[in-house]
């Protein structure tokens, strides 16, 4: 089985003291890794340098939560992919549902950001997923299919690009898709990746993100075509994050 990726999205949480404390706890527990799991944490922009400095030399890499489409310019308040790379980031989360909803990002915008990330030698983690209304209307596959087509540029599957399926209705709600739901959607995403990118689509890691925690991780990570997890709140506690990583090792 290929190595799974456990990615922690800290979202807008953590002042410097908080980030330093959590990073030190992660440093202490990282050891030599977790078997089949690659570990990644994505702090707020303001804490990437601090966290990356503490985690240097460990099995845990650091990423950003978004980037601009351009490498530089008059874009007040934004951060570019080269800036993330300069801070020590290796990955960047793009197209998260909270960006799509709160910042009105469309697939074409996400696509341009993916290209920017790749130009800066960052590995993009592109999020796709449906709302509760879209699933209730039996439109979840159409929604995710169009997001994949619109958000992933040519050659995405030839590199190390990652797709993360995040059912919007399960983010931060405590609700989790059933293992059957996850299996069905990940199989659909795999088929779409193969349809769009050919044989290379078989190699792309597909993460599951939606209220993943230490209790449900083992079952979710054992589902076919689940290549890891995009973890929200549980990644803010080192013990919980490592428990999820350990579940991946057993998956």
Confidence of residue 1 (pLDDT cuts 50, 70, 90): very low
- Of the residues 98, 105, 130, 166, only one is catalytic, namely 166
Annotated active-site residue 186? The verdict is no
CATH number at residue 105: 3.20.20.70
- Of the residues 91, 96, 140, 186, only one is catalytic, namely 96
Which has more pLDDT, 226 or 211? 226
Annotated active-site residue 103? The verdict is no
Average pLDDT, the chain: 94
- Could you list the residue range(s) of the whole structural domain that residue 49 is in? 4-250
> What is the tally of structural domains in the chain?
1
Return binding residues for substrate.
Answer: 9-11, 172, 211, 232-233
pLDDT of amino acid 134? 92
The pTM assigned to this predicted structure is 0.96
Residue-wise pLDDT for 86-105, tens only, equals 999 999 999 999 999 999 99
Q: Which two tokens stand for residue 248?
A: 């991946």
């Amino acid at each position: 089985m290929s190595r799974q990726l456990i990615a922690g999205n800290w979202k807008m949480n953590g002042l410097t003291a908080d980030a330093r404390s959590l990073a030190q706890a992660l440093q202490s527990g990282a050891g030599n890794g977790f078997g089949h799991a690659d570990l990644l944490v994505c702090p707020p922009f303001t804490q990437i340098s601090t966290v990356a400095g503490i985690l240097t030399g460990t099995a845990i890499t650091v990423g950003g939560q978004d980037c601009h489409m351009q490498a530089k310019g008059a874009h007040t308040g934004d951060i570019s992919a080269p800036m993330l790379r300069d801070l020590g980031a290796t990955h960047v989360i793009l197209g998260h549902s909270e960006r799509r909803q709160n910042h009105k990002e469309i697939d074409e915008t996400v696509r341009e950001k993916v290209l920017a990330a790749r130009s800066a030698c960052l590995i993009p983690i592109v999020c796709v997923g449906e709302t509760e209304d879209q699933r209730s209307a039996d439109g979840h596959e159409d929604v995710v299919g169009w997001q994949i087509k619109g958000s992933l540029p040519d050659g995405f599957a030839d590199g190390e690009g990652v797709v993360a399926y995040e059912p919007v209705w399960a983010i931060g709600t405590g609700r989790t898709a059933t293992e059957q739901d996850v299996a069905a959607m990940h199989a659909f995403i795999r088929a779409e990746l193969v349809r769009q990118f050919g044989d290379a689509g078989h190699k792309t890691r597909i993460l599951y993100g939606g209220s993943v925690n230490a209790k449900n991780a083992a079952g979710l990570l054992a589902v076919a075509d689940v290549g890891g997890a995009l973890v929200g709140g549980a990644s803010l506690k080192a013990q919980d994050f490592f428990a999820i990583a350990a579940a991946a090792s057993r998956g």
